[in-house]
Amino acid sequence: MSIGALSRYAFINAKLKSRITSMLTARQIDTLSRSKTLTEALYSLRGTHYEPLIELYHQSGDIERLEAWLFARNIILHQEVNSHLKGGGGAVVAALTRKLEVENLKSVIRLWFSNRIKRQNIDYRYGYLYQGKITSEIEWARIVNSTHFSEIVEALEGTPYREPLSHFSNEQVEQEGLFDVEITLDKIWFNLLREEAKSLSKEDRSILEQVLERDADLKNIINLFRFGWLYTLDGEHLKTLMLEGGVITKSEEFQEYLEQPAQSRSPMKLIAFRFPELAKELAASRESSSENLTLMVESYLFKVRREEYRKMLRGNPFTIGTILAYFFLEERQNSIVRTIINGVNYGWEAEAIEEYTL
């Protein structure tokens, strides 16, 4: 452990570890998911970081407002952590915050698409979007009000998204939809994060690169499973969806998978190559619904990630690992709260909600 790491992480990591200990417990989550009404669910969050949701719901009675608050909270947490870090650590957190910016940008472009291409009314939806600065200066209103896709590209001047999106034409977007645009945006933030990893100290870099290599494999396996097997995309198209890094895309099994005719592909060999335990689980399962199989894969991969982050929290406390684990747990917690309040609002049974909260 170097002295530099000690000064860099002593304050922030102690703060984040304290926050982790005050996250929602399994019992609180259980109480939340067993609530009969949304009001009851929200009141069970009293005394937690989610208490402002009670007041917000009383004021608006609007569940989408609650989701918007959860998203904004996540951004604020990222920006707060960033304000305590200098140098490489700060740049990496900024790159992680970019993921939220990309999510917001995707939502804004989807709104534009609904409005301009599908001719739907978007007035009520625009109010729920985050309209402040996340990492880059982006005029969100200008994007929504663009008449043409090229105007969106112009509105993104000075951001890393402009150049890659300039390869899409309005006609292409109109005909093929936003799928490829969204994949491109995901790849941009992931590659930027990989670049920022180079500015870290040796130990931090090794931790982050390990996380990115694993995440690339996890994301790629989900994409190969979902788009390659369930939606049978052609090999070339499938290749463009893959994130850089990991071992899957470099394997012979991957090449074989792409070369197979879309209708007769099976992702099992690929899954067995990288995640043998998951392959066994899938083989033993009698599940035939594609949605449930995808849930099984996602659930397993989530467990892999969770275990890795737990290891990080048990390891050296003066590394970027604590920050990465905190963001992971915080994001997971937000997602659980979002899923439960939606489930309770729609009157789902607690068991059904738990399936989606993993």
Partner 1 sequence: MTTQTFKKRLGLSLVVTLLLLVASGVLFAPPLFAAESDVALEMNSKNIMWAVISAALAFSVGAVSAGFAISHVGAAAMGAMSEKPEIGGQALIFIALAEGLVVFGFITALMILGKV
Residue (13 or 146) nearer to partner 1, CB = 13
Residue 120 interacts with partner 1 (CB under 8 A): yes or no? no
CB of 335 to partner 1, least distance (A): 22
Task: For residue 175, state whether it binds partner 1 (rule: CB under 8 A).
Answer: no
Query: How is 130-163 classified by DSSP, letter by letter?
Result: --S-SSS---HHHHHT-SSHHHHHHHTTTSTTHH
Q: Of 3 and 284, which has the nearer Cβ to partner 1?
A: 3
Closer CB to partner 1, residue 8 or residue 99? 8
Among 1, 2, 4, 6, binds partner 1 (CB under 8 A): 6
Min dist CB 76 to partner 1, Å, is 15
Using CB under 8 A as the binding rule, whether residue 17 contacts partner 1 is answered as yes
Q: Report the Cα 194 to chain-centroid distance in Å.
A: 16
Using CA atoms, how far apart are residues 301 and 242, in angstroms rounded to an integer? 17
CA angle centred on 339, ends 336 and 342, rounded to 5°: 145
As measured in angstroms, the least distance from the Cβ of 16 to partner 1 is 8
Least spacing, CB of residue 317 vs partner 1, in Å: 9
Neighbours of 28 (CB within 10 A): 15
**Cβ neighbours of 307 (radius 10 Å):** 10
From the list 1, 2, 22, 53, which residue makes contact with partner 1 (rule: CB under 8 A)?
22
- What torsion do the CA atoms of 195, 270, 228, 338 make, to the nearest 10 degrees? -60
Please tell me whether residue 93 binds partner 1 under the rule CB under 8 A.
no
Cβ-based nearer residue to partner 1, 21 or 59: 21
By CB under 8 A, name the one of 10, 141, 230, 352 that touches partner 1: 10
Q: Is 11 in the site for partner 1 (CB under 8 A)?
A: yes
Give whichever of 1 and 230 is closer to partner 1, judged by the CB atom.
1
Query: What does DSSP assign to residue 99?
Result: H
Least gap, CB of 301 to partner 1 (angstroms)? 30
CB 39, CB 57: distance < 8 Å: yes
Q: Segment contacting partner 1 (CB under 8 A): 15-23, 65-73, 163-171, 295-303?
A: 15-23
Helix (H) or strand (E) holding 344: helix 321-345
| Residue number with CB closer to partner 1 (83 or 172) | 83
The answer to whether 83 contacts partner 1 (rule: CB under 8 A) is no
Give the pair of three-digit tokens for residue 232: 């049978």
Residue 101 CB neighbour total at 10 angstroms:
23
> Tokens in use for 152?
């969106």
Contact 5, 319 (CB under 8 A): yes
Using CB under 8 A, list all residues that contact partner 1: 6-7, 10-19, 21-22
